[in-house]
Amino acid sequence: MAIEDGVRAMDEGMTTDFRGRMDYGDYLALDELLSAQHPISDHHDEPLFIIQHQTTELWLKLALHELRAVRSYLEADDVRRARKGLARVKHVFHTITDQWSVLATLTPSEYTEFRGVLGNASGFQSHQYRAVEFVLGNKDERVLRVFEARPHAHDLLAAELEAPTVYDAFLRHLARAGHPVPEHVLHRDVRRAWVQEDALVPVYKAIYEDTAAHWAEYATCEDLVDLEDAVQLWRFRHLRTVQRTIGFKPGTGGSSGVGFLRRALDLTFFPELYAVRTQIGT
């Protein structure tokens, strides 16, 4: 665009008449999107709280979309596309981690003025976040009870409970590539949460100590570690934002609040990829 009299002029070829044509707002359904914020109070800061959580849910929708694709790519031994998806999800979590800094501008005094209107609504009830945890291996069938009043959310989680995780898909890919993944690991009950399998540590040790021969596997292992670190940083930033806003009060959904969030930091999706670091070079 040229500058004329201090005003940026539009190019001659730019479309300006959108009668009967799809425009930016149509494509993004902006009328629906921007009218989806419904504060219950008249407090100035409630829109911040709503928009923070709504945008996080949009990013989680993308993360779940990408993780399902990563699982499919690994099942097809398409490691290059799987790695691209893992990188994208890592950056999604970096983005929603940075978003906590915006919510952290909400002071305890400000939040107290409208917190009561939330009732029992809580981030614990995010079915998309639970689905992301399920697809990464942190499964808990008891969580489904929370969503019995929302059939779509319940069915989505029930499907992920029955499905292999991204880690299951990766381990099966390693087995097809000739790595000695134990049979009981390959045929485990995928409905159960992943727990550390020490028999996998020697498998990873061989990969990490001969990266030239196993570069794709090694690089994908590091992608998984990058992703786990990104999720853990999100969890930690969540905890710190909650602590600075409500201290050690119980959560709106009935949880212990900060204590509940702190216990999540002990959860790990790919424990053997951390355990192997002690063994490399020994």
Give the span between the Cα atoms of 146 and 151, in whole angstroms.
Answer: 11
Residues 6+ apart with CB under 8 A from 14: none
Instruction: State the CB neighbour count (10 A cutoff) for residue 141.
Output: 13
Residue 156 domain-assigned?
yes
pTM for this entry:
0.91
The residue written with tokens 């999540």 in the block is 264
Residue 193 domain-assigned?
yes
Q: How far separated are the first and last CA of the chain, in Å rounded? A: 62
Residue 17 domain-assigned?
no
Residue 50 annotated in ligand binding: yes
Give the span between the Cα atoms of 14 and 257, in whole angstroms.
Answer: 52
Residue 93 annotated in ligand binding: no
pLDDT in tens, the chain (282 residues): 455 566 777 777 888 878 999 999 999 999 999 999 999 999 999 999 999 999 999 999 999 999 999 999 999 999 999 999 999 999 999 999 999 999 999 999 999 999 989 888 877 789 999 999 999 999 999 999 999 999 999 999 999 999 999 999 999 999 999 999 999 999 999 999 999 999 999 999 999 999 999 999 999 999 999 999 999 999 999 999 888 888 878 767 767 677 777 887 788 999 999 999 999 988
Please report the pLDDT score of residue 2 as a whole number: 56
Please report the pLDDT score of residue 194 as a whole number: 96
Please report the pLDDT score of residue 254 as a whole number: 67
- Residue 190 tokens read as 């995928």
Please report the pLDDT score of residue 5 as a whole number: 63
Q: 23-80, pLDDT tens digit by residue?
A: 999 999 999 999 999 999 999 999 999 999 999 999 999 999 999 999 999 999 999 9
Residue 235 domain-assigned?
yes
Residue 238 annotated in ligand binding: yes
Residue 252 annotated in ligand binding: yes
Residue 111 annotated in ligand binding: yes
Positive or negative torsion for Cα 235, 100, 227, 143? positive
pLDDT above 70 covers what percent of the chain?
Answer: 96
Q: How many domains does the chain have?
A: 1
Q: Residue 100: which CATH number?
A: 1.20.58.480
Residue 52 annotated in ligand binding: yes
Residue 30 domain-assigned?
no
- Domain of residue 177 covers 45-244+254-279
Phi-psi region of 215 (alpha: psi -120 to 50; beta: other; left: phi over 0): alpha
Residue 105 annotated in ligand binding: no
Residue 2 domain-assigned?
no
Residue 182 domain-assigned?
yes
Give the span between the Cα atoms of 56 and 234, in whole angstroms.
Answer: 11
Residue 24 domain-assigned?
no
3-state helix, strand, coil in the chain (%, to 5): 65, 0, 35
